[in-house]
Structure 1
Amino acid sequence: MLSRRGALLLAAGSFALLSPPVRRPPKAAPAVPPPVRPQLEALLTARSAALLRRDGAALTALAAPEAVPGELTLLARLAELPLAGLGYRLTGVGEPTVGGGESGAAVERVSATAELGYRVDGVDAHPALLGRRVEFVRSGGRWLLASDEPAGAVALWDLGAVRVVRGARSTVLGLGEPGELAKTAALADHAVPAVSEVWGSGWAGRLLLEIPASEEQFAQLLGVKAADYQGIAAVTTAATGPDGQSAADRVVLNPEAYAELTDLGRRVVTTHEATHVATRADTRAWTPLWLSEGVADYTGYRSTGRTPRQIAPELAKDVQAGRLPAALPLDSDFTAGAVGIAQAYELGWSACRLIAERYGEPRLTAFYRAAGAAGPTASRDQWLDGLLRAQLGVGLDAFVKEWVAELKRLFGG
């Protein structure tokens, strides 16, 4: 059925030709704004260059008016930090939105996520990486930075002005007084050769340490809950480099827990963390935590003159009470806040001590490197059994029996 309009047109056709439509020039296509992402990338590149040059004028010219005070604060906080490189990589860009600004006028905004990479001069071969949330506003036909906030772990400069102390083999970044940072640098300088005695010189031979002002800030630097890491004196973090071997290692200290340690305790903790840095190239996701934490404690306590009972008091109590391990510790036993985490560390130390004492330190380091060289192809226990047989000439069951017997001998169980 024809519509009424169709019927009228058909009737008109019996009397005369319909007038042709009036031809009008085609409408110009609406101007398509250039893609947003390249503009934002160019802005972040220019901002990174301004930060590296410590160029306040260039930095603030790239910022929205409300962001200028924060940019100047950032510049002041970075004043002492020797940056060899800094750059952003956009990982996600939202759709532009329009909303009211402070003046009531419509303002176009874009939110994005980015990866911030930075290198400390004389320390980092590859960038340390941090997630960021970045917001931009369009003003005068161009995009400006509105905010740059952490998404997860924070940077030390997010928390305050970074002070820098250089040691002979260390760089310490902190928010405290230079005198306290210098004490930590001295401990780090001592730790480096102590670690190299066991693990050789095939690592950077230099440490970068970060010291926030509180336990809460310590957790923020790690991007974790403070309650889960309460009492933990230090953690080593790293971003693996493009070759899969080198890394941007940071030893992050918990100032509250670290301050409660004796001088010897601080020395042991610093050497423990330095061992993680030295063994980074040989450590893989499949490396058992009893082994990685065990060798770190073994190296940390080596040459301290401490007895096994002094090193492993919780383990000594368990053995004397007849609570003997049936197997090597699981990775889950080392989870922050886990019940029995102290015993897990002491068990790992005792297993690595046994290898070093009975088979020699070179066998311990070779065993560790072999563990990282090839991951499990069967079950983890089968893999570990084969590894022990190849490196020490003893299977897993026999090693565990030997280890338990050694615990009885050490602690009188």
Structure 2
Amino acid sequence: MLAAAGLAQLSMPGAGRAAPASAAADEHAEVLAALDERARALTAGPPALPVRAVYRNLLLGPVDPAGRCSATAELAVTVTGYDEQPVVYPRRLTLAGSAGDRRVEREEGLDGPPPLWDLGAVRAAAGERCLVLGPADPPALAGLAAAGDRAVPAVEALWGSDWAGRLLFHLPATEEQFARLVAGGSPGWSGMAAVTVAAPGAPRHAPADRIVVNPGAYGRLSDFGRQVVTTHEAVHVATRADTRAWTPLWLSEGVADWTGYRDSGRPARRIAPELARDVAAGRVPVALPGDGDFTAGAGGIAQAYEQAWLACDLIARRYGPQRLVALYRAVGEAGPGADREAWLDGLLRDGLGLGLAEFTRLWLTEVRGLAG
């Protein structure tokens, strides 16, 4: 907790009694003390959460005619064992009461996604390799923790251990809460089972990834489907250092799905049922899916994910899983060219020995094969 300036009373020889601190400093200290109690209450449990929360950078505004005082502050939250730096949430406060008896009447976010505590009382379920936080019911928290513990070694088997090797999940209680956490309430995200996000206020070198799970969409999946989703998101966490803004989404989403389905023994038509139905009806894509095809709420988004999985499955079967991993990392290491297709063509030639056009032709042959 930041100390309030001007609170100290100095006593010097011959100076008599120290001068009292200003009334403004006294009120600042009083509000800080109230916020300190408020922060402790956020993590009190039971059981106590492995979280440290503090309010900092408090700025008190003017008092209105009704005696209320506005203020702004930052709520800095650090999850023990997961966050290298605090995750920062800008907050707006309304304080009621009179000077000497200020209390928080209202608190709300200034911008960005809210902290979990805005959604209700937060519970925790800890696995060996993950932690789940959220207002969801305890059985749901525990089930997600078990899936997370299975996901980590599955990801490490392909992508290695040069990452944190642990997962932090946020599990809200409703689909509406999920939308608030990832998209400010946008309904377009309602069909997504989970999404990995970099926490707000985290520095670029330590993005503090959270896997936010949609309790509705995730809960409607089979146990197998839930594990695929959990492993998919774990890949995004593990490959954060290798993923750049220029990485094609068909590659980043494809490797995540491919890892999730790896060794499942399921045939392609079961993994890509929507795409298979389209092909059987004569609706065959003509190119690899573009980044816009993966936009939440977009028509055909399921087919885009299935097309991406099939592209990465083609690479893994034809050249081996490690070549798929190497290609992914090479794309992240290379700077984007002015002509994206030419740039990707060169990377494919370097990594696989064939250009983009030939790879697309091979992939389209795989796509047509889904018709049976």
Q: TM-score, normalised by structure 1?
A: 0.76
1:133 counterpart = 2:92: yes
Trace 1:8-407 onto structure 2 (pairs within 5 A): 50=37, 54=40, 74=42, 80-84=48-52, 86-88=54-56, 96-101=61-66, 107=67, 109-112=69-72, 115-135=74-94, 139-140=98-99, 146-150=105-109, 151-239=111-199, 244-407=204-367
Kept in 1, the 8 Å contact 2:31–2:102? The answer is no
Cα pair 1:78 1:157 within 8 Å, conserved: no
Give the secondary-structure state (helix, strand or coil) at the position aligned to 2:241: helix
- Post-superposition Cα deviations, 1:162-201, rounded to whole Å, max 9, x if no partner, equal 1111111111113233233212111110111011111111
Distance in 2 separating the partners of 1:153 and 1:257 = 20
Contact 2:172 2:214 in 1 (8 A): yes
- Where 2:162 maps in the other structure, the secondary structure is coil
Q: Which has the larger radius of gyration?
A: 1
Distance 1:40 1:245, change over 3 A: farther
Aligned residues: 351
Distance 1:43-1:220 versus aligned 2 partners, 3 A rule:
farther
- 1:40/1:374 CA distance change after superposition, 3 Å: farther
Partner Cα separation in structure 1 for residue 107 and residue 100 of structure 2: 21
125-134 vs 175-184, which moves further: 125-134
SS state of the match for residue 130, structure 1? strand
Q: Within 2, Cα distance between the matches of 1:155 and 1:165?
A: 18
State the distance in 2 between where 1:351 and 1:87 align.
47
Determine the C-alpha separation between the residues in 1 that align with 2:185 and 2:107.
22
Q: Which deviates further from its counterpart, 243-252 or 293-302?
A: 243-252
Change (3 A) 1:299 1:42: farther
Structure 2 match to 1:11: none
List per-residue Cα deviations over 1:11-66 (Å, max 9, x = no partner). Answer: xxxxxxxxxxxxxxxxxxxxxxx9x9x999977876665556x3xxxxxxxxxxxx
Instruction: Give the 3 Å change call, closer, same or farther, for CA 351–42 of structure 1 in structure 2.
Output: farther
Shift of 1:85: 5.4
For the Cα contact (< 8 Å) 2:91–2:107, is it kept in 1?
A: yes
Q: Which amino acid aligns with 1:290?
A: W
From the superposition, tell whether residues 77 and 166 of structure 1 become closer, same or farther in structure 2 (CA, over 3 Å).
closer
> In 1, distance between residues paired with 2:27 and 2:232?
43
Structure 1: stretches of 5+ with no match in the other structure: 1-33, 55-71, 102-106
Write out per-residue CA displacement over residues 126-169 of structure 1, whole angstroms, 9 at most, x where no aligned residue.
33343432345795389875543123312111111111111111
Which stretch of the first structure deviates more once superposed, 138-147 or 353-362? 138-147
CA distance in 2, matches of 1:295, 1:166: 27
Question: Would the aligned equivalents of 1:80 and 1:162 in 2 still touch at CA under 8 Å?
Answer: no
Cα gap change, 1:40/1:274 in structure 2, threshold over 3 Å: closer, same or farther?
farther
Q: Matches of 1:327 and 1:236 in 2, distance apart?
A: 27
SS of the residue 1:100 aligns to: coil
The answer to whether the 8 A contact 1:208-1:250 is kept is yes
Gapped runs of 5+ residues in structure 2?
A: 1-21
Q: In the TM superposition, what whole-angstrom CA distance separates every residue of 1:287-315 from its partner, at most 9, and x where no partner exists?
A: 11111111110011112221100000111
SS of 1:256's partner is helix
**In percent, how many aligned pairs have the same letter?**
53
**Inter-partner Cα distance in structure 2 for 1:128 and 1:300:** 29
Change (3 A) 1:258 1:327: same
Q: Secondary structure at the match of 1:181?
A: helix
Aligned partner letter, 2:93: V
Aligned partner of 1:3 in structure 2 is none
**Alpha-carbon distance between aligned partners in 2 of 1:378 and 1:98, rounded to the nearest angstrom:** 55
Question: Alpha-carbon deviation of 1:406?
Answer: 2.2
Are residues 390 and 86 of structure 1, via their aligned partners in 2, closer, same or farther at CA, if it must alter by over 3 Å? Answer: farther
- SS for the counterpart of 2:152 is helix
